[in-house]
Amino acid sequence: MMKRVLLSLAWSITLLAAPAVQASESGQKSEFVSIPVLYMTDRAAVSGGFDGQRKAEDEHSIYDLNFGTVNYCLKNSQSKPLSDRAVALGWQPQNSKPKVSYATIPDPNSGTSSACLQFGKVLGEHLQKCESKDVFVILHGYTTTFAEAAQSAALLEYSLECPVLVYDWPSKGKVGQYNVDAGNNEWSQEHFNRFLEELLEVKQKTGAHFNLLAHSMGNRLAIRSAPVMAGKHIFDQMFLVDPDFDAETFVHYLSRYARNSKVQEAETVPEKQAKVRILFSRKDRALPLSQFLFGGYTRLGQAADNMLLSLFNPPSLNDVKQRVGSLIRGGENGKPVTAKRPDWALKFEWIDFTVLDKGLLGHTIPYQLVADLWRSDSPGAGLALTDSEEVKPNRISKFFGGVFHEDAHIASRLGTYKRVVPEAEAQSQTQPKLAQSGAVR
């Protein structure tokens, strides 16, 4: 208990030491903006925050989680004025970028067995204060510190302009600790499942609309929670970005839980199915490395839809030979090979955001794209979604597949997917079709 008191005191001092903020006047602009982000974490608490260790626990303290708010300061990259909406969310203008500051939620139950229950109460009060029914939950990926998780949540809230809650599992935040992160992610599963149960309680009491963004290894928590989420409709929309999850194992969860949940929902309200979008990039060079570590088996974020099709409808040996030969030749008569997905799998939408992926490794989160898709089912200003029927894995993925003789598991084509392109490119693609039909002369 004394440790928690000292920790709270340290956080309060950090908050008071932060540079003074300007008055929150609606409409004003600033170079930086401080955004408060809610968090739930099972990291070990240390002076001034949290580190990459798991929290200490025994059989009586499994659900002793830590929660609070973290104020993260971002550059106002879009020069947004401080709207009434932003003020309600607690955004504050800043003249300079301070360090991350922590503000403990005024509740003594953080770090205790009633943390999830009390956090649900605080979350409900926060939504009432913000006058918002929409909340995004974000799950970070591998090699992410607590501060980086807070930054990711703040970037998402900056794009969405709605409350964001980060579930922060204990990633080491170091590149060479992939297997350690994988183990910590698995260890965090039961905590996350309990957290989801509390979100459902909040949803039922407040009418909140929860949405989820999971990135990379964070998708493992989301997908493995299928037994908890099946048939409950906790999330309205789910964005699985660059998912570092075994594609065939994903099918196992779909086969049991997606099929069953659809039957359950059909008996009540059919339209209450979560909209699930899987966002992938052909510039992603991180997932092929994960593929290498897993013996050449395809990761879900490598656009493994064609491989999933073969598992939905297992082909005969002759079908396999014909399909492999067809893939090698580039399709029957040069046309892409397509197959029909079962109806219950059609709620999964695949989106190629290669044009927006950045950096040497790619594997980034397209925050603004997620925000625009969530709001309007469109990719945003200057962009368009086009239908595509062919995608090839990048060279690294093909190489590792060959090394481990797992070429058949590498997705060379998707049945149907969407591709984000510049709006001008989409228009140029439609013009020839209109001209051929006689609509353009």
For residue 184, give the CATH number of its domain.
3.40.50.1820
- Give yes or no for residue 389 having a pLDDT over 90: no
Mean pLDDT value across residues 73-88: 92
Query: pLDDT at position 430, please?
Result: 64
Judge whether 359 lies within some domain.
Answer: yes
Comparing C-alpha atoms, which of 24, 158, 32 is closest to residue 95? 32
Euclidean distance between CA atoms 13 and 10, whole angstroms: 5
Judge whether 333 lies within some domain.
Answer: yes
Judge whether 7 lies within some domain.
Answer: no
Q: How many CB atoms lie within 10 A of CB 84?
A: 10
Judge whether 69 lies within some domain.
Answer: yes
Q: Rounded to the nearest 10 degrees, how much is the dihedral formed by the CA atoms of 354, 355, 361, 365? A: -80
Q: How confident is the model at residue 16 (pLDDT cuts 50, 70, 90)?
A: very low
Cβ distance 318 to 386 under 8 Å? no
Q: How confident is the model at residue 214 (pLDDT cuts 50, 70, 90)?
A: very high
pLDDT tens sequence across 161-205: 999 999 999 999 999 999 999 999 999 999 999 999 999 999 998
- Give yes or no for residue 315 having a pLDDT over 60: no
Comparing C-alpha atoms, which of 273, 276, 261 is closest to residue 227? 261
Lowest-confidence pick of 338-347, 372-381, 416-425? 338-347
Q: What percent of the chain has pLDDT over 70?
A: 67
Judge whether 92 lies within some domain.
Answer: no
Give the residue numbers spanning the domain of 337. 37-46+56-75+106-437
Q: How many domains does the chain have?
A: 1
Cβ distance 166 to 37 under 8 Å? yes
Q: How confident is the model at residue 47 (pLDDT cuts 50, 70, 90)?
A: confident
Judge whether 162 lies within some domain.
Answer: yes
- Give yes or no for residue 1 having a pLDDT over 70: no
Q: How confident is the model at residue 437 (pLDDT cuts 50, 70, 90)?
A: low
Query: pLDDT at position 188, please?
Result: 98
Lowest-confidence pick of 97-101, 216-220, 383-387? 97-101
pLDDT tens sequence across 397-415: 555 455 555 555 444 344 5
- Give yes or no for residue 324 having a pLDDT over 70: no
Euclidean distance between CA atoms 217 and 294, whole angstroms: 13
Judge whether 91 lies within some domain.
Answer: no
Average pLDDT across the chain, whole number? 78
Residue that wins the pLDDT comparison between 377 and 258 = 377
Query: pLDDT at position 17, please?
Result: 37
Q: Residue 312 is which amino acid?
A: F
Judge whether 193 lies within some domain.
Answer: yes
Mean pLDDT value across residues 61-73: 89
Residue that wins the pLDDT comparison between 108 and 40 = 40
115-130 and 189-206 are packed helices; what angle lies between their axes, rounded to 10 degrees? 40
